[in-house]
Amino acid sequence: MNPNSTVQKAGKRYFVLLILGLFLACLIMSLPVYTFTVGVYTKKSSNTFVGNEKYKEALAEVEQTADEYRSQGLAVEISETVTERTNSKGETTSLVAFTISQTLKKNVWAFLPSSLPSAWVLRILTAGMAAALILAAAGCRGSFSTEIKTLDPGLRRMRGLSCLFLLLDLILVPVFILLNNYLFWRRHSLFQGDLLTDGKEEWYRVLDGFLFQGKMGEDAADALKNLSAEHSPLLWVLLFCFLLALAGAAGLRFGALQKPFLRGALYLFVIVICVITLYPYYVMLITAFRSNAEALDMYFLHLLPTKWVWQNLSDIVQRGVPQFLANSFMVAGGATLLAMLCGIPAAFAMARMNFKGKKFFLGFVIMSQMFSPVVLLIGISQLMTTLNLNDTLWGLIFVNAAFNQAFAIWLLRGTFVAISPEMEQAARIDGCSTMGSLIRILLPMAAPGIVTTLIFVFINAWNEYTISTVLITTASKKPITVGITQFSSFNMIEWQYLFAASLLATIPVVILFMFIEKHLTSGLTSGGVKG
């Protein structure tokens, strides 16, 4: 079989797939998937009972009006709501309100000429579709039978671009749907309830133009009172059509589908993971700069604070946050220093010397790591009282250093073992003492591992919370993790202050952690225990 004909067949198949996908997308966009219901006429009866004369009178009048609408060719429906009320004599009467509502069906294209914000998304979407089609057609001109690898770069670029445009469309469809949802019931109900007043007039004008071709004018606000909008789930099928088209375009571009699709899925997965991971930090950031009223507002519509309240920062400065940060810094710094001073010699002995009980010591160290201070909370607080270290930063320094000893020794030993002892031996022959060779030769060579350990211990001590809550009672001695809890009392939490302080506590350690990430992970699982 001629290989060229296989290539040609595959190329044509992808091209048909692309066109089919786009065609289906157009078809779905032409279906009346949006349903709007608008109350065009309301008649309230006087106090009455359902079924009596006044009621029938009002109903007849309403039906007459409805017929008038119908004769104009509008699809209208009559609905009634009954409000029961008791008058001063104790009789129950009803107030009946008749509403004539008009149902408007719109397809997606109807949004195109409107001045709704979502129309912009649709315009880009349509342009993207057209561009994809044109580029794909141009890129395929007379080149169906050419192998992908030998294809002219210009044509290849055109096919690639068409792929790109379809990808853009794939992203825009949900944006369009969500934006419409948001506009049509959320924002509208906020306007209706006067919860949001900025741009209200403008909104009614736009909606009037879109739904009634601007006929309502001044009465638009009235007419739109009962507006509700529904979209059919059919729109989501649109996504699938674009996926189909994308498959075609990707096939044209790459010749095979599996790889680019796996690639796309990979990026999607990574993006989703990153978004979820960053979400709490985003919440923390925006809440830290919102006013108290905004922080407690569910109807907060904006991605960013409407006004950045830098005042929050100066407020927390006055409420002792710099002192907390300084305490944290002292505790973490002190604990790191102490852990390193005790840990480096121990790790050095473990890595370079042979002695009885070496294995026992390793076991001792690893065992000590098993116990987070929390389970020994009571014992530690008792011990601190005995040692007179209760409510002092020194107590925290000692505890943090001790409980990070295991990790420090473990990481350092791994680093030292990985460095060949030859240099030290040479130095020793030249008359250098053990201590001298450690300080002058080994430590500079082990610098990256030492910095990693240093930062890791620092972060652990900085983030420690439980022991500090138990040991520290004086407000001015609290480290930041305990200090921030003063913003959340039982009945009132000052979220904006809490998060502003949290932000200050988080940023430095996150940055530090990013530096050591690479070294740390290899040290944690393998480096430390080998040797």
Partner 1 sequence: MKKSNGEKWWGPYLWLLPSILLISIFVVFPILIVFRLSFSEISKAGVVGGFVGFKNYIDAVNLPAFATVMKNTFWWVISVVGLSTLLGFIIAMVMNQKFRGRKIARSILIFPWATSLVIQASVWNYIIKYEYGSLNSVLLNLGIIKEAVNWRSSYQIEFIWECAVGIFVTIPFVTFCILSGLQSIDESLYESARVDGAGFWSRLFHITLPLVRPSLSVSTVLNIIYVFNSFPIIYTMTKGAPANKTDTMITYLYMLNFYDRKKGPANALSVIGFLILCLCSGIYMITVMRKEEEA
Q: Which residues in 300-329 contact partner 1 (CB under 8 A)?
A: 300-301
Binding residue for partner 1, selected from 353, 420, 431, 491, defined by CB under 8 A: 353
x-or-dash pattern for partner 1, window 108-147, by CB under 8 A? Answer: ----------------------------------------
x-or-dash pattern for partner 1, window 421-460, by CB under 8 A? Answer: -------x-----x------------------------x-
Say whether residue 346 binds partner 1 (CB under 8 A). yes
Say whether residue 272 binds partner 1 (CB under 8 A). no
Nearest C-alpha neighbor of 169 from the set 244, 67, 102: 244
Applying CB under 8 A, which part among 26-34, 94-102, 310-318, 366-374 lies near partner 1? Answer: 366-374
Say whether residue 37 binds partner 1 (CB under 8 A). no
Task: Locate 24 and state its tokens.
Answer: 């289906």
Say whether residue 514 binds partner 1 (CB under 8 A). yes
Of the chain, the end-to-end C-alpha distance in Å amounts to 60
Smallest distance, partner 1 to C-beta of residue 35, A: 15
Give the footprint of partner 1 on residues 400-419 (CB under 8 A). 401-403, 405-406, 409
Say whether residue 8 binds partner 1 (CB under 8 A). no
x-or-dash pattern for partner 1, window 163-202, by CB under 8 A? Answer: ---------------x-xxx--xx----------------
Give the footprint of partner 1 on residues 207-266 (CB under 8 A). 263, 266
Applying CB under 8 A, which part among 27-35, 49-57, 111-119, 345-353 lies near partner 1? Answer: 345-353
Smallest distance, partner 1 to C-beta of residue 521, A: 4
Q: What is the rounded distance in angstroms from the CA atom of residue 288 to the CA atom of residue 170? A: 35
Applying CB under 8 A, which part among 52-60, 216-224, 235-243, 353-361 lies near partner 1? Answer: 353-361
Binding residue for partner 1, selected from 484, 494, 497, 500, defined by CB under 8 A: 484
Binding residue for partner 1, selected from 100, 110, 399, 450, defined by CB under 8 A: 399
Give yes or no for a contact between 173 and 238, defined as CB atoms under 8 angstroms apart: yes
Q: What is the rounded distance in angstroms from the CA atom of residue 450 to the CA atom of residue 407? A: 12
Burial label for 483, CB within 10 Å (0-12, 13-18, 19+), is: buried
Say whether residue 20 binds partner 1 (CB under 8 A). no
Of the two residues 81 and 385, which places its CB atom closer to partner 1 in the complex? 385
Binding residue for partner 1, selected from 243, 419, 443, 470, defined by CB under 8 A: 470
Binding residue for partner 1, selected from 69, 120, 361, 394, defined by CB under 8 A: 361
Counting residues that bind partner 1 (by CB under 8 A) gives 102
Q: What is the rounded distance in angstroms from the CA atom of residue 482 to the CA atom of residue 325? A: 10
H-type helices in 419-494, by residue range? Answer: 422-429, 434-437, 443-445, 447-463, 466-471, 480-483
User: Residue 241, SS3?
Assistant: helix
Q: Which residues pair with 93 in a beta bridge?
A: 85
In single-letter form, the type of residue at position 197 comes to: T
Say whether residue 82 binds partner 1 (CB under 8 A). no
Element (H, E) at 94: strand 92-106
Element (H, E) at 57: helix 53-71
**Axis crossing angle, helix 321-352 with helix 393-418, rounded to the nearest 10:** 40
Neighbours of 258 (CB within 10 A): 9
Smallest distance, partner 1 to C-beta of residue 283, A: 5
**Axis crossing angle, helix 258-288 with helix 495-522, rounded to the nearest 10:** 140
Say whether residue 273 binds partner 1 (CB under 8 A). yes
CA distances from 36 to 29, 39, 236, 497 (A): 16, 10, 19, 44
Say whether residue 492 binds partner 1 (CB under 8 A). no
Binding residue for partner 1, selected from 298, 318, 474, 491, defined by CB under 8 A: 298
Of the two residues 182 and 261, which places its CB atom closer to partner 1 in the complex? 182
Element (H, E) at 128: helix 117-140
In single-letter form, the type of residue at position 12 comes to: K
Smallest distance, partner 1 to C-beta of residue 402, A: 3
Give yes or no for a contact between 177 and 235, defined as CB atoms under 8 angstroms apart: yes
Smallest distance, partner 1 to C-beta of residue 379, A: 3
SS3 percent helix, strand, coil of the chain, rounded to 5, is 70, 10, 20
